Amino acid sequence: MVEKEFELTKVLGEGNYAEVKLAKEKATGHMWAMKVINKKKLEPGDEEMLALEVEVLRTVQHPNIIHLYKVYDTKYKMFMCLELVTGGELLERLMDQGAYTEHDACELFAKVMHAVTDLHSRGIAHRDLKPENLLLANPGDPASIKIADFGFAKIMSKLPKNKDGKQLMMTSCGTPEYVAPEVLQNIGYDTKCDVWSMGVILYIMLCGFPPFYNDNIGKLFEHIMKKPHDYPSPEWDPISAEGKDLINKMMEKDPAKRLDAAGCLTHPWVGEDNSKVELHMSAEKLKHFMRRRELRKGIEAVQALKKMEHLMHAHAHA
């Protein structure tokens, strides 16, 4: 069926059990990205996550969320036909500008937060917001930013209620540098975990480096849970007090006190005409951050997650 409707050509990306191919729709000539999942390589629980990812993407229709066009499910393979994005990721876009302003960062941030607010209004948590999952559909068009990769997404209404009648997520997942403290504490968490992740991303956008960094994952998690973030000089000197205030409210360690996604959009920093001072130093720091990240890709994310699960298990029994 897929071959009748689409011509699959070059491989755009590969993962553990899937590859993404360029797909030309024969009837229209339109280009798509076809995610081809090899079901024989799936581990226990993976099929359930895939079904949830498809359900989430079918539920959501937002200009800043990747569009799922069609799904074909066969005995051994699943084909997900997705919107083709060719503009690279958010941080690459900022880096390629050479220098950018607080205003540039704010515009991009607001686009993403509109999409996050839409997800949360539907009771959907993304759970893996990071720069690699914020992509531009078209090169040079920041308005075309899209949230991608809903493999860890969760629909809150499907969760069992705890003794207080709350529906909370318990699974430790995400990417270490962007994960919220409550995810690490094994106490249950809600959609505000995404607000923390976006706070970390905004911090990086404004200064070019993350608020918490340590090659030792155990120490990194300890810092996320207990250490306050700061705004070192000179990189943070040109950034407005409002920008720092929004980050403080997004990276509040107690999720009950943290701003929700909609609250981020009504914060004064998002509504005002932000500084147009070029952040040359932030752009340089961002290049270093991106280079270091590329080097670290050799360390498998799977190892990091296994380490996370081990630490969470230990923390739960401490």
Please give the positions annotated as active site: 128
Burial pattern 136-170, b for ≥16 Cβ within 10 A else e, equals bbeeeebebbbbbbbbbbbebeebeeeeeeebebe
Q: Is the torsion defined by CA of 41, 78, 44, 60 positive or negative?
A: positive
Residue 257: phi and psi, rounded to 5, are -95, -10
Token output for 203: 């911090």
**Conformation bin of residue 229: beta by default, left when phi > 0, alpha when psi is -120 to 50:** beta
- For residues 59 and 41, the answer to whether their CB atoms sit within 8 Å is no
Tell me the sheet residues that pair with 123: none
- Who contacts 179 (Cβ-Cβ below 8 Å, separation ≥6)? 172, 193, 196, 197, 221, 224, 308
- For residues 113 and 261, the answer to whether their CB atoms sit within 8 Å is yes
Could you give the CA distance from residue 222 to residue 220 in angstroms, rounded to a whole number? 5
Is the bond leading into 234 cis (omega within 30 degrees of zero)? yes
Could you give the CA distance from residue 117 to residue 142 in angstroms, rounded to a whole number? 19
CB atoms within 10 A of CB 83: 16
- Who contacts 19 (Cβ-Cβ below 8 Å, separation ≥6)? 11, 13, 35, 36
Could you give the CA distance from residue 199 to residue 78 in angstroms, rounded to a whole number? 34
Q: Which of 286, 293, 87 is nearest to 205 (CA)?
A: 286
